[in-house]
Amino acid sequence: MDWEDTYKSKLVSAEEAVSKIKSNDRVVVGHAVGEPSELIDAMVENKESYKNVELVHMVAMGKSEYAKEGMEKYFHVNSIFVGASTREAIAAGRGDFTTCFFYEVPRLFKDGYMPVDVALIQVSKPDKHGYCSFGVSNDYTKPAAECAKLVIAEVNENMPRTMGDSFIHVSDIDYIVKTSHPIIELKPPKIGEVEKSIGKNCASLIEDGSTLQLGIGAIPDAVLLFLKDKKDLGIHSEMISDGVVELVEAGVITNSKKTLHPGKIVVTFLMGTKRLYDFVNDNPMVETYPVDYVNDPTVVMKNSKMISINSCVQVDLMGQVCSESIGMKQISGVGGQVDFVRGASMCRDGKSIIAIPSTAAKGKVSRIVPLLDEGSAVTTSRNDVDYVVTEYGIASLKGKTLKERAKALINIAHPDFRESLIKEFNDRFKCDF
C-alpha cells in the first residue's frame, strides 16, 4: 500500500476515534496551542463511556471542560504544568500535579514511569512522502506519540509545517481525523512602564552574538523591545512568540554566531498569533526538536554566550527562587526554567537571568522577601541562581556571600519595602546594612 492509501484507510470521525479510548487509559494530550481541540471536545461528548481516563498534559490552552466540577466521574486530570483552565481543579483536589523538569518529561513516558496508552496529537497535512509535522508543538508530544500504544491524530490543514526532528509518518498513526480549525492564538501581552524598565535592564546584560532563551509574557516581550540595536543574536529557546519574528525581520536575530545549529532558530514549541505560525511554516530557518533535546542543559550549554531569561513569584534574601506556587497553591510548574538556568550557567560565557517586577498584587506585596511563603516550591535553588533583575536594577548573585546576596537583592527591591528588608538584614546578620 502506498502512503496515500494508508492515510485514507485510517480516516475516521472524531467520535469514532475517541471511542477507541478505554476506561483507565492514560491519555497524553498534545501541548499548549498544539492541543487537538476537536478530539478533546469529542472525548467530553463521549464521557459517559469512560471511567477514570487520565489526561496528562502541560500547558492546557483549550477550554479544559474535562477539568470542570462533575467531570471527575469520567476523567482524572494529571497536570505537569498548571494553567488558568486547570488551576481550580488541582486546588480543589479533583486533579493531580506531577512535578518534573520539562526536559525529563519524555523520560516519564519512555522509561516506564508513566506508560502512555494513548497519544492525542495534532499535526500538519502530510507532505508528498507521507510525513506530517508536529508544527507548533514538538516538545513531549512527539516522544509521547513514539511510545504510545495508540496514536490518534488531528491532521489540521492550518497546522504549520515546522522543520527539524519534527515529523511522524502516517503509517505510525492509528486513527486520523481531518480538521481545519484555526490554531489557538495567544495575543501579545500589554507591556507597561515597569516591564519596559525590566526589559532595558535585561538588555544591558546581552552582548552582540548572544543566544537567547526567553519565556512567555510581558517581560520577555519587553526585553525584545530593547534589543533592536544589537547584532547577530541567536535563539535556542523552549518556545518563541511573535516578538522574535519582528527581530528577525529587523535583521537583529540572524543566528549567524550560534555555535550549535548556526543559522537556525531552535525551539521545542511555539505560541503566538497567526503571524508567528505563518512565519515558521515551511521556514528552514526555524527548527523544532523534542524537549529532551532542546532543553537538555548539556545541549543548551553548547551555545556560546547563552542567556536565559525567566520570571518568578518570589525570591528570598538567599536567592532561592519560587516560580510556580503562591505558598501551597500550585499556579504553574517548573517548566523549562531550571533546564535553561543550568544550561546557561554551564556555558562558560553564559548568564541566567530571573526577571521580575519588584512587586505583585497591584503593588501590595514585594516579590523580594525575607523568607519564601510557607509551602512554596523552590524552583531555582540558591546554588543555581545567577542574575536577578527588577525595574530598579540588577543583582548579580553568583559567587556572593549570603550577606552580599541579601544586600544586592534589597537594593533592587521596591523602595516601599526596603526598610523592612533592611531591618531583616540587620537582625539576621547581626550587623548594619
Looking at the annotation, which residues are catalytic?
A: 238
Q: Nearest approach, Cβ of 338 to ligand COA (angstroms)?
A: 9
268 binds ligand COA (CB under 6 A): no
* Phi, psi (rounded to 5 degrees) for 53: -80, 120
Contacts of 168 (CB under 8 A, 6+ apart): 121, 123, 131, 132, 134, 142, 145, 151, 153
Write the burial class of residue 69 (CB in 10 Å: 0-12 exposed, 13-18 middle, 19+ buried): exposed
Q: Does 221 bind ligand COA (CB under 6 A)?
A: no
Q: How far out from the chain centre does Cα 240 lie? A: 9
Question: Could you tell me the CA-to-CA distances from 12 to 54, 95, 131 in Å, in that order?
Answer: 23, 31, 19
Contact pattern for ligand COA over residues 152 through 191, marking x by CB under 6 A: ----------------------------------------
Question: Closest approach of Cβ 232 to ligand COA, in Å?
Answer: 23
- 235 residue type, one letter: I
Nearer to ligand COA, 179 or 320 (CB): 320
Residue 272, interface with ligand COA (CB under 6 A)? no
- Give the one residue of 133, 320, 337, 358 binding ligand COA; rule: CB under 6 A: 337
Cα–Cα nearest to 329, from 139, 82, 18, 136: 82
| Cα dist from 391 to 93, 347, 388, 409, whole Å | 37, 26, 10, 12
Options 70-78, 162-170, 283-291, 332-340: segment touching ligand COA (CB under 6 A)? 332-340
Taking CA atoms, 300 is separated from 40, 44, 291, 293, 296, in Å, by 34, 39, 11, 9, 6
Question: Does residue 231 contact residue 207 with C-beta atoms inside 8 Å?
Answer: no
> Residue from 130, 188, 217, 393 that binds ligand COA (CB under 6 A)?
217
Q: In the window 291-310, what residues touch ligand COA (CB under 6 A)?
A: 310
Q: For residue 85, state whether it binds ligand COA (rule: CB under 6 A).
A: no
Query: Is residue 216 near ligand COA by the rule CB under 6 A?
Result: yes
d(CA 429, CA 406): 10
Cell 492509528 -> residue:
174
State yes or no: residue 91 binds ligand COA (CB under 6 A): no
**One-letter amino acid for residue 74 of the chain:** Y
Figure out which of the listed residues 367, 407, 414, 418 binds ligand COA, where binding follows CB under 6 A: 367
Establish if 83 lies at the interface with ligand COA (CB under 6 A): no
Nearer to ligand COA, 361 or 431 (CB): 361
Answer yes or no whether residue 361 interacts with ligand COA by CB under 6 A.
yes
- List 143, 215, 272, 350, residue binding ligand COA (CB under 6 A): 215
Separation of alpha carbons 266 and 288, rounded Å: 6
Contacting range for ligand COA; rule: CB under 6 A; set: 13-21, 112-120, 311-319, 386-394: 311-319
Q: Which is nearer to ligand COA, 35 or 238 (CB)?
A: 238
Closer CB to ligand COA, residue 79 or residue 156?
A: 79
* Interactions with ligand COA, residue window 401-420 (CB under 6 A): none
End-to-end CA distance of the chain: 77
Beta-bridge partners for 120: 29, 152
| Residue 376 interacts with ligand COA (CB under 6 A): yes or no | no
Q: Pick the piece of the chain touching ligand COA (CB under 6 A) from 47-55, 68-76, 333-341, 407-415.
A: 333-341
* Of 168 and 206, CB closest to ligand COA: 206
Exactly one of 179, 311, 358, 376 binds ligand COA (CB under 6 A); that residue is: 311
Of the residues 287, 324, 386, 391, which one makes contact with ligand COA according to CB under 6 A = 324
The CA distance from 305 to 229, in Å, is 17
Can you tell me which of 54, 238, 287, 296 binds ligand COA, judged by CB under 6 A?
238
Near ligand COA by CB under 6 A, which window of 151-159, 165-173, 279-287, 330-338?
A: 330-338
Q: Which of 335, 345, 409, 421 binds ligand COA (CB under 6 A)?
A: 335
- Check binding of 198 to ligand COA (CB under 6 A): no
Instruction: Point out which residues bind ligand COA (CB under 6 A).
Output: 215-217, 238-239, 310-314, 323-324, 326, 331-332, 335-337, 360-361, 365, 367
